[in-house]
Homo-oligomer: A and B are copies of this chain.
Amino acid sequence: MYEVELKVRADHEPVRERLAELDAEPQGIVEQVDTYYDHPVRDFAETDEALRIRRETYEDESTARVTYKGPLVEEASKTREEWETGVDDGETMASILDELGFAPAATVEKIRERFSCDGYTVTLDNVAGLGEYVEVETEAEEESIDSAREGAIRLLQDLGLDADEQVRTSYLGLLLDESA
């Protein structure tokens, strides 16, 4: 499966009103703390990969997941291959990565408010140090990436947003740019 996503910088309040008009279904609010790792020998900035441990808090329950993101396979929609699994103990997973030579590179903290709408997930992200963003996302098989992307563009328009203003840089990249 491939992740198809479009992200724009946008104030949340007008988008939240449009979501209500579209009968989008609220999926709750989560807090995410993401730690990104450097590979012991590969330069992930060069290879366009990422390894992440995500600690998530949802309704007072904390969970952790480890995720690998491969290089872009489709530039326009930021589509990449992704492997992710839950882990029982995020701290232990961090220790294992540390022992294997992976070093924490950066941390991204955000509060995400999710809505389900027409087969897409719309996420209102409030990112520490960056501000408010809106993301439209779905999963697609390789052969339906194009139609999934077209649907995402239409949904962004319905929300009063413009896909031409897409921010292709990840929050991690934006934060690294800010600090550079």
Contact = CB atoms under 8 A, between A and B. Distances in A.
Interface residues of A, number: 24
Interface in A61-119: 66-68, 70, 83-89, 92-93, 95-96, 99-101
A99 B85 contact: no
A51 interface: yes
A99 B70 contact: yes
Given A51-B100, A68-B96, A86 B85 contact: no
A49 B99 CA distance: 10
Contacts of A45: none
A40 interface: yes
B87 A87 contact: yes
